[in-house]
Amino acid sequence: MVSLDSPVTVVRPHLIEFGVGAAGRLGAWATSKGYSRTLVISDAFNAARIDVLRLDGEVSIFSDVTPEPDIANLDKVLAAAEAAQADLIVGFGGGSAMDLAKLAAVLAGSEQTLREVVGPNKVQGSRKAALAQVPTTSGTGSEAGIRALVTDPETKAKLAVESLHMLADIAVIDPSLTFSVPARTTAATGVDAMAHCVEAFTNRKAHPMIDMYAIEGTRLVGKYLPRAVRDGSDAEARAGLSLASLYGGFCLGPVNTAGGHALAYPLGTRWHVAHGAANALIFPHVLAFNTPAVPEKTKAITEALGYDTSETVKSVFDAAYAFCAELGIEMTLSGLGVAKNDLDAMADDAFAIRRLLDNNPRELTRTDIRSIYEAAY
């Protein structure tokens, strides 16, 4: 773990608008900046309600964002961006829409290809369009960060791009946009937001400046996620989760996630399990595995979720498992349709994600990963 005097770089969107009913502020902001040609990148459901953004001028819509987007989906987005010649690109949806918006902002009209910008700080020059992010789920925190992920269908691996050029000019976080999210999705995305916070809090690169967001984000999920699952129209609960998701996004830039996300990714790339559901299933197993390396922080996490544990691996696992299961989340790989004969390949895939596993507070061997998948089956 790093100390208080260790250097850290923290970034934020240049402007953050937060609150129930805030969505319409995007249009006023765009008008004040003189933007007149907008491309909204979204899924079909959210594309049908872009009026809430109150955008003026010429508005083009790409409404074919897919969950866990791959290179082919990105290519379609880039073609739409080239055709729109927009001066403002808006990501309107979950993490998939916002990640594709980031990549469109830096790759549309650029001489660089996706392969050339994979990794940290490889985007060259300045982007040609402004970038706005409007999340409609409370999970990824993508509106706050500088990373974007797409899947390579050939290798089934996530390609991660990181660049300050993908930082939003404005993030508009309106909790009312999440009221219609179904309970099951609310539960899974909420645990994803918590996983961002927890994995940053227990990270080898954890920093006191980020810890405050990480533990508060965890506390917000512990307090408000069960309420939002019970009653999706609970405005206070939805706002609490939106804030937790934002805080999780703050954690991703300077610290990032660790073992939990590394083990969750193969569920999405190989079996198309929703990202939030994958993280929720893996969360108790990796939290318990890491407990011997970070006992005090683990205790703080379980207390933030409303559980008083003895800090033993079993008690930590039981508390984290209960929190997720009581939300109605499927907590077995078999229940998600994953074939048992694929566990070895999944372990190979996860073990190769060094950019995340190297952050984990306790070394996760390939054997450890395979054992966790077996226990989760």
CA proximity to 159, closest of 110, 112, 117: 117
Q: In whole angstroms, what is the distance from residue 277 CA to residue 191 CA?
A: 8
92's enclosing H/E stretch is: strand 88-93
Record the tokens describing residue 342, joined without a space.
Answer: 């694929």
pLDDT in tens, 321-377: 999 999 999 999 999 999 999 999 999 999 999 999 999 999 999 999 999 999 999
Record the tokens describing residue 281, joined without a space.
Answer: 């299933």
CA distance readout (Å), 320 to 225, 327, 331: 14, 11, 11
pTM score above 0.85: yes
Q: In whole angstroms, what is the distance from residue 141 CA to residue 317 CA?
A: 25
Q: In whole angstroms, what is the distance from residue 235 CA to residue 233 CA?
A: 6
A 10 A CB-CB count for 20 gives 16
Tell me what pLDDT residue 144 has.
95
Strands 119-120 and 147-152, by their bridges, are: unpaired
Within the chain, which residues score under 50 in pLDDT? none
* Residue appearing with tokens 């609490």: 240
For residue 225, the SS3 value is helix
Tell me what pLDDT residue 338 has.
95
Strands 15-18 and 170-173, by their bridges, are: parallel
Tell me what pLDDT residue 1 has.
62
